[in-house]
Amino acid sequence: MATATLDTLLANYADLSARELDDRIARAKCELGSRLVILGHHYQRDEVVKFADYRGDSLRLSQLAAGRPEAEYIVFCGVHFMAESADILSGDHQTVILPDLNAGCSMADMANLEQVEVCWEALTAANSGKILPVTYINSTAAIKAFVGRNGGAVCTSSNARKVMEWALARGEKALFLPDEHLGRNTGYGLGIPLEQMAVWNPREVDGGLTGDQIGDSRIFLWKGHCSVHMRFSPEHVEHARKAHPGIRVIAHPECSWEVCQAADEVGSTEYIIKRIVEAPPGSAWAVGTEIHMIRRLAHEHPDRMVVSLDDCVCMCSTMFRISPQHLCWTLESLCSGRVVNRIQVDPETKGWALVALNRMLEIR
């Protein structure tokens, strides 16, 4: 197995024109045929996602890849935790590849296993009742495995409410990680007051919480966030309404509570896409999520207005690391019999992470 280096890409791919890259990617993809499946996340840049066999959110893409057993190679044009999820759900005969190993997720990186174990020990010691952990799909395989070992489940932005209901029905309290905003928005939607949701800050002693705060809280929120969705503010909502009277504001639940309260609608990536696709011609939407997806929706539906909630570019910079050059290098390496940038979760971690994922899938 080889690892991508800047020198390799500069030497062989950096000077290729867009047309040359397209031709070489298409040729390599054709040569690999059914042995290959390419996955493209909604936030991926257009010049990469156009080669994807499937486009979607991270969990759906992983499930689709697992449903392609004839595909020996799964090339995930996303970020590291997504490739890990694909490896967890795919067969032992399948190899998952991330075209650029530097394509990480700042949110997932905000919760490491050691920190979570410290938090868990403190919370369980301070509470006489049962606590169940819930982790967002945007987390490392190690965190998913921790949740699986401790009776909890994974959630997505689409089913966070159902999973949180499930957790609270089976325990007195819940620990939600690593995105405090999705956790807070979900808990508030379930009728839990803000004062009963405490934020655990792993960079502070005892999480920055007093004994009373721990005792009075029903949900503990990990101090983590998405760097893209945190850019949006209530002022952006106000500005959009003034600039475009009658516009509907739709925000992703990774946005802050204040933004979600100001928006007309709040929903997952798939929900946002569905609403705009099904919206009537002439409708206008200001969307609080990643810019590549917004621009793609605007391009595909020119008979309605689709703009970003923020005039500045709100781009997932780590997702943007996956370039046509990386994709071309990855596929041509496979054609020559070399596997590069393989993502492989160790068997024990994979087993417990799969337990947490399966618990989610069983929740109705």
Q: What is the pLDDT of residues 170-196, one digit of tens each?
A: 999 999 999 999 999 999 999 999 999
- Residues of the chain with pLDDT > 90, as a percent, come to 80
Residue 306 is inside which H or E element, if any?
strand 305-308
Which DSSP category does 247 fall into? P
Give residue 128's pLDDT: 74
- 142, 349 contact by CB (below 8 A): yes
| pLDDT band (50, 70, 90) for residue 60 | confident
Give residue 146's pLDDT: 98
CATH class of segment(s) 108-227: alpha beta
CATH code given to domain 6-104+318-344: 3.40.50.10800
Equal CATH topology for 108-227 and 229-308: yes
Q: Which residues of 151-187 are buried (b: 16+ CB within 10 A; e: fewer)?
A: bbbbbbbbbbbbbbebbbeebebbbbbbbbbbbbbbb
SS3 278: helix
Query: Residue 1 pLDDT more than 50?
Result: no
Q: Tell me how far CA of residue 4 lies from CA of 105, 255, 328, 342, in angstroms.
A: 19, 34, 12, 11
Q: Which of 8-22, 94-108, 161-175, 299-313 has the lowest mean pLDDT?
A: 8-22
CATH code given to domain 229-308: 3.40.50.10800
Query: Residue 285 pLDDT more than 60?
Result: yes
Residue 35 to residue 54: CA distance in whole angstroms: 15
Q: Which amino acid is at 180?
A: E
Please state the domain extents for the chain: 6-104+318-344, 108-227, 229-308
Give residue 313's pLDDT: 66
Which of 358, 364, 361, 363 has its CA nearest to residue 148?
Answer: 358
Q: Which residues of 190-207 are buried (b: 16+ CB within 10 A; e: fewer)?
A: eebeeeebbbbbbeeeeb
For residue range 243-270, list pLDDT tens digits in order. Answer: 999 999 999 999 999 999 999 999 999 9
Average pLDDT over residues 184-209: 96
Q: Which amino acid is at 221?
A: L
Give residue 180's pLDDT: 97
